[in-house]
Structure 1
Amino acid sequence: MEQLTKEEFNARHNMKVATDIVLFTVRDESIDNPRKTPELKLQVLLIKRKSSAEKGKWALPGGAVENNEDVHTAAYRELKEETNIDNVYIEQLYTWGKHDRDPRAQADPQNRAVSVSYMALVDSEKLNIQAGDDAEDAQWFTIEAKLISKTEKPRISGFDMEYLYELHLANTAHAFTSQVIVKRMIDGSIVKTELAFRESPIAFDHAQILYYALERLRNKTEYTNIAFNLMPELFTLGEIQKAYEVILGKKLNDSNFRTRTIKNMVIETNQKRKEGQYRHGKLYRYNPAWSRDNIW
């Protein structure tokens, strides 16, 4: 059996666990810029790091898991501490464990950190963002991912595919662009996917996490009720349709959306909201029975 010194054992087995949270909302951009035409956009919250590692860079809210808590609890705690947001929809995304994902590990292997990422959704009417002690600032950024190029190489029983995406994050004061590479290896029925990023102004590997969360949100919007977590208690059909369109990045047919996509997912109320000078839109609420009958 290999004999290790205490220092060697710690370097090989000591690993920190952290959480990173991708918090999405749908907001009107004119809130931050009165000169801009009102338009709903999908936005994500970033914090400006105050600590030494990647100090001054924009990053996802998150932090280390404490010894006396589980990872899920840590995600809720970090979100509250760094942004003053709690009691929101949250789900686990993926575990990121590349050995050099944290620059501190390059100087000291004991600083290696594995991060469990989460996606959270919040209704913009509930927002009261406030940067915590670990963050210098917290701001909302409009997020978009655009496909730049795609290459494909055949193999005996499948394909090797590579997609290059540009991830754009912007608000009235800042704008960033990161390039994310998606590699997909198809061998028969086996599909392997790897993510990587090129030079990114965002801290750590958070550009990858953002892209992954955006794809998860889009995919789940197609077959679950996840988009309703971005809505207030009462909403018009036009408002929920616009939320779907903002997430999916495409215009939806009004009739198909209302009679097929969200059929049985909403309950009509006897309340109305004024829309424009003359029109009053009917207000709806989410139907919790849909969740009872549709478990995924």
Structure 2
Amino acid sequence: MNQPPTNKDGLTEEQFLQRYDASQFERPSVTVDMLIFTVAEELEPNYRKLSPKSLQILLVKRADHPYMGHWALPGGFVSPDESLEEAALRELWTETNIDNIYLEQLYTWGEVNRDPRTRVISTSYMALVDSEALEVKAGNDAEDAKWFRIEDKWLRENKMATESGTITEKWVELRFWNEAEELSATIKITRTVSGRIVREEREIVETNQVAFDHAKIIQYALERLRNKIEYTDIAFALMPELFTLTELQQVYEVILGKELLAAAFRRKVADKVIETNHYRKHAGHRPSKYYRFNPEWT
């Protein structure tokens, strides 16, 4: 009969775990932050045109210190008896009343001084949702919960050569607004290429009413969202069962922040949609053919 292996102190794994003292290492707190994006309709006075759309993000107003009165991503601390995803879904429900949505893990943030209370490591999650299907309201942990239109703008860029590669510095401005408030932040992104090693760091240059380091988390999430819409079907989370290609293109344009050529766009999404025999008929519009999402696209 094989004997269980022992370590340098002559202990089996079972004996080691029985004697293990977890307090010998200082343990950081663990949190989750959720980035909930949507594309929402804006008012269009001309009934002959499709209503314009805007990219929006859900933020909560902090009800306590630190950053009391500032706006933050929904989120909170992870309990010892739950997974990261369970904590994300719980915090999203208690702070915003949103339930039963698919969250995709985005990135883990672990800078030492990112939270003034204690050492905090946070895992962020991202989702693109249909806001019309959700009833958002602030829970016990938040003073308020609101959708904010979001816009980013590149300010300037510096590129320097080094002995082993390059250092590129970019500054981007984020602006958030709704009918009642306007927030902003400036992020500096430093990309260092040294041989085959590439590093990218983000730094908050200034922030106006955006809590913690959430501005740079949001900026990173915007980059990832725009990348994902190019090669995944994430945009279809916003579409009804039947939609026109013009409506679909408008969603892509809002997320990407640029206009797309109709012919090129239709070639790009051809394998993601299925043509139907139904037409959109509306006063002031020419009839447009309806399409539906193709779940078997490759």
Of the three residues 183, 196, 204, the one matched with 1:197 is 204
Distance 1:10 1:150, change over 3 A: farther
Please tell me whether residue 145 in structure 1 is matched to residue 152 in structure 2.
Answer: yes
Per the alignment, in what secondary structure is the counterpart of residue 30 of structure 1?
coil
- State the alpha-carbon separation in 2 of the partners of residues 199 and 101 from structure 1: 14
- State the alpha-carbon separation in 1 of the partners of residues 66 and 285 from structure 2: 55
Of the three residues 20, 26, 40, the one matched with 1:13 is 26
Q: CA deviation at 1:29?
A: 3.0
Counterpart in the other structure of 1:229: 237
Counterpart in the other structure of 1:85: 98
Distance 1:10 1:54, change over 3 A: farther
The Cα offsets for residues 179-219 of structure 1, whole Å up to 9 and x where unpaired, read as: 00100001122110001102212000000110010000011
Q: CA deviation at 1:246?
A: 0.5
The Cα offsets for residues 29-77 of structure 1, whole Å up to 9 and x where unpaired, read as: 339xxxxx94201000101011322111100001111111100121122
Q: Radius of gyration: which is bigger? A: 2
- Stretches of 4+ aligned residues off by more than 3 angstroms: 9-12
- State the alpha-carbon separation in 2 of the partners of residues 12 and 210 from structure 1: 32
RMSD: 1.9
The correspondence of residues 172-183 of structure 1 with structure 2, limited to 5 A, is 172-183=179-190
Of the three residues 41, 51, 58, the one matched with 2:54 is 41
Of the three residues 37, 43, 57, the one matched with 1:24 is 37
Unaligned runs of 5+ in 2: 1-21, 45-49
- State the alpha-carbon separation in 2 of the partners of residues 65 and 139 from structure 1: 23
Deviates more, 1:11-20 or 1:85-94: 11-20
Indicate conservation of the 8 Å contact 1:197/1:205, yes or no. yes
Q: With structure 2 as the length reference, what TM-score do the two structures score?
A: 0.86
Please tell me whether residue 73 in structure 1 is matched to residue 86 in structure 2.
Answer: yes
Indicate conservation of the 8 Å contact 2:187/2:206, yes or no. no
Q: CA deviation at 1:278?
A: 4.8
Q: CA deviation at 1:81?
A: 1.7
Per the alignment, in what secondary structure is the counterpart of residue 271 of structure 2?
coil
Please tell me whether residue 257 in structure 1 is matched to residue 265 in structure 2.
Answer: yes
- State the alpha-carbon separation in 2 of the partners of residues 114 and 71 from structure 1: 12
What percentage of residue pairs aligned between the two structures are identical? 50
Counterpart in the other structure of 2:255: 247
- State the alpha-carbon separation in 1 of the partners of residues 24 and 58 from structure 2: 34
Q: CA deviation at 1:86?
A: 2.2
Indicate conservation of the 8 Å contact 1:275/1:281, yes or no. no
The correspondence of residues 205-220 of structure 1 with structure 2, limited to 5 A, is 205-220=213-228
Per the alignment, in what secondary structure is the counterpart of residue 210 of structure 2?
coil
Per the alignment, in what secondary structure is the counterpart of residue 264 of structure 2?
helix
Deviates more, 1:48-57 or 1:245-254: 48-57
Which structure's residues are more often helix, by fraction? 1
| Partner AA of 1:77 in structure 2 | R
- State the alpha-carbon separation in 1 of the partners of residues 123 and 152 from structure 2: 22
- State the alpha-carbon separation in 2 of the partners of residues 270 and 11 from structure 1: 68
Indicate conservation of the 8 Å contact 1:125/1:232, yes or no. no
Q: With structure 1 as the length reference, what TM-score do the two structures score?
A: 0.86
Q: CA deviation at 1:133?
A: 1.1
Of the three residues 116, 131, 134, the one matched with 1:127 is 134
| Partner AA of 1:241 in structure 2 | Q
